[in-house]
A and B are shown apart, each in its own frame.
Chain A
């Protein structure tokens, strides 16, 4: 069983909808949680970085961490066609030399 599980999708939603993307993990040592967005044939770009449990908001994006359930989420409000991409969760137990463990990614399409 993988340390980080992520539904690969694909997920299609209409423009303007709220999108919920999720990852579960098994390693209770993970403390640092990230979401990356990857457009087709491009490198991943960092969207959100959170430490421990709680919520973090940045514009239309909200990252949520529930360490007790080993579950993290990314919410996208007012989704736009430009949000169509693959979203990867990543996590680490250590600050500094971060050897990240990634989920496999969820492919999201926003339908105009």
Chain B
């Protein structure tokens, strides 16, 4: 357990509405990540952060924005939700351990866009 919580855990929303997902960590890790997981695609990186107010795009960033105003919180916003953004969203942190840089994942948010 890397002290990661995600909220909400489940959400149903309508096409065109904005949605914000929250990731909260308690261990002061510098790097945080947002992934989405879809059948046949595995986990794909959306955005990541390497510090407060420092973020960068991942593989599938179109339609998503992020913000990190505090070390412990990393927010993912779907500016105008579409049905293609129905997915399970995972937050992760990087932790250095025994000369390895390991990623640990939160419990996930299941988002359905109708």
The answer to whether the Cβ of B64 comes within 8 Å of any Cβ in the partner chain is no
Given A36, A45, A88, A98, which contacts B101 in the complex, CB threshold below 8 Å? Answer: A98
A13-21, A67-75, A100-108: which lies at the interface: A100-108
State whether A100 touches B102 (Cβ < 8 A): no
Given B48, B94, B100, which contacts A51 in the complex, CB threshold below 8 Å? Answer: B100
The answer to whether the Cβ of A59 comes within 8 Å of any Cβ in the partner chain is no
Interface residues of B in 41-83 (CB under 8 A from A): 41-45, 48, 50, 58
State whether B48 touches A49 (Cβ < 8 A): no
Determine the distance from Cα of A66 to Cα of B105 in the docked complex, in whole angstroms. 27
The answer to whether the Cβ of A97 comes within 8 Å of any Cβ in the partner chain is yes
What A residues does B94 contact at CB under 8 A? 97-98
Given B42, B48, B106, which contacts A43 in the complex, CB threshold below 8 Å? Answer: B106
What A residues does B50 contact at CB under 8 A? 97
Cβ distance A44 to chain B, nearest Cβ, rounded Å = 5
Contact with A along B71-114 (1 / 0, CB 8 A): 00000000000000000001000100000111111111010000
The answer to whether the Cβ of A96 comes within 8 Å of any Cβ in the partner chain is yes
State whether B101 touches A44 (Cβ < 8 A): no
Number of interface residues of A (CB under 8 A): 26
Determine the distance from Cα of A102 to Cα of B38 in the docked complex, in whole angstroms. 12
Contact with B along A45-85 (1 / 0, CB 8 A): 11001010000000000000000000000000000000000
Given A41, A42, A49, A102, which contacts B102 in the complex, CB threshold below 8 Å? Answer: A49
Q: Given A97-B31, A99-B45, A102-B42, verify A46-B102 contact (CB < 8 Å).
A: yes
Cβ distance B16 to chain A, nearest Cβ, rounded Å = 28
In the assembled complex, 15 residue pairs joining A and B whose CB atoms fall closer than 8 Å, in A order, are: A4-B42, A32-B100, A34-B102, A43-B107, A43-B108, A44-B105, A88-B42, A90-B43, A90-B103, A96-B101, A98-B94, A100-B43, A102-B44, A103-B42, A104-B42
Which 8 interchain pairs have the tightest Cβ spacing? A43-B105, A104-B42, A102-B42, A102-B43, A49-B100, A44-B105, A43-B107, A98-B101
Residues of B participating in the A interface, judged by any CB pair closer than 8 Å:
31, 40-45, 48, 50, 58, 90, 94, 100-108, 110
